Structure 1
Amino acid sequence: MRINGLPLDEEKSELRKIIVANSGYKWILKCKPQKTCRWTKPELGEFKLSLDASLDENSGGLGGIIRNDEGMAITIFSTNTPSEEIFELELTAIRMGINRAQEMNIKRLRIEDNSLLVVNIIQGLSPIPWKKHMMVHQILETLKEFEAWRISHTWREADYLSKRNYICKGLNFPLPLATLELLEIINSDRSGFEYIRM
Structure 2
Amino acid sequence: MLGFTGYQQSVPDSPSSRDFFNRWRLPISFTSGRETPFSWIAPPWAWTTINCDGSIRSSATGYGTISHNHLSQAIFAIVGGTSDISILRMELLAIKVGLHKAISLGLDQIQCQSDSLMVINIINGHMKSPWPVMDILHIIWDLRDSFRRIVFQFHIRESNFCADFLAGFAYTNQELHLCISSVPNLLPDLLHKDAVGHRYFRL
- In the superposition, the TM-score normalised over structure 2's length comes to 0.78
Deviation at 1:32, TM superposition (A): 1.2
1:193 equivalent to 2:194? Answer: no
The corresponding residue for 2:113 is 112
Mapping of residues 54-93 of structure 1, within 5 Å:
54-93=55-94
Aligned partner of 1:73: which letter? Answer: A
When you count strand as a share of all residues, which structure comes out higher?
2
Deviation at 1:129, TM superposition (A): 1.6
Tell whether the 8 Å contact from 2:158 to 2:200 is kept in structure 1 after alignment: yes
- Structure 2 unpaired stretches of 5+: 1-21, 171-175
Whole-angstrom distance in 2 between the partners of 1:58 and 1:29:
38
Higher radius of gyration, 1 or 2: 1
State the SS of the aligned residue for 2:31: coil
Whole-angstrom distance in 2 between the partners of 1:181 and 1:74:
17
The corresponding residue for 1:177 is 182
The corresponding residue for 1:47 is 48
Whole-angstrom distance in 2 between the partners of 1:28 and 1:86:
38
The corresponding residue for 1:7 is none
Deviation at 1:133, TM superposition (A): 2.2
The corresponding residue for 2:4 is none
- In the superposition, the TM-score normalised over structure 1's length comes to 0.80
Aligned partner of 2:53: which letter? Answer: D
State the SS of the aligned residue for 1:69: coil
Deviation at 1:29, TM superposition (A): 5.7
Deviation at 1:166, TM superposition (A): 3.4
Deviation at 1:176, TM superposition (A): 1.2
Aligned partner of 2:192: which letter? Answer: N
Deviation at 1:180, TM superposition (A): 6.0
- Structure 1 unpaired stretches of 5+: 1-15, 17-22
Aligned partner of 2:169: which letter? Answer: K
State the SS of the aligned residue for 1:70: coil
Tell whether the 8 Å contact from 2:65 to 2:166 is kept in structure 1 after alignment: no
Tell whether the 8 Å contact from 1:155 to 1:197 is kept in structure 2 after alignment: no
Tell whether the 8 Å contact from 1:62 to 1:168 is kept in structure 2 after alignment: yes
Deviation at 1:187, TM superposition (A): 1.6
The corresponding residue for 1:20 is none
Aligned partner of 1:48: which letter? Answer: T
Tell whether the 8 Å contact from 2:63 to 2:166 is kept in structure 1 after alignment: no
Could you give the per-residue CA deviations for residues 52-82 of structure 1, whole angstroms, max 9, x where no partner exists?
Answer: 1101233211111010011110111101110
Deviation at 1:136, TM superposition (A): 1.0
The corresponding residue for 2:6 is none
| Pair 129,196 (structure 1): closer, same or farther in 2 beyond 3 Å | same
Over aligned residues, Cα RMSD in angstroms?
A: 2.2
The corresponding residue for 1:166 is 166
Could you give the per-residue CA deviations for residues 20-49 of structure 1, whole angstroms, max 9, x where no partner exists?
Answer: xxx9xxx97632111221101111110000
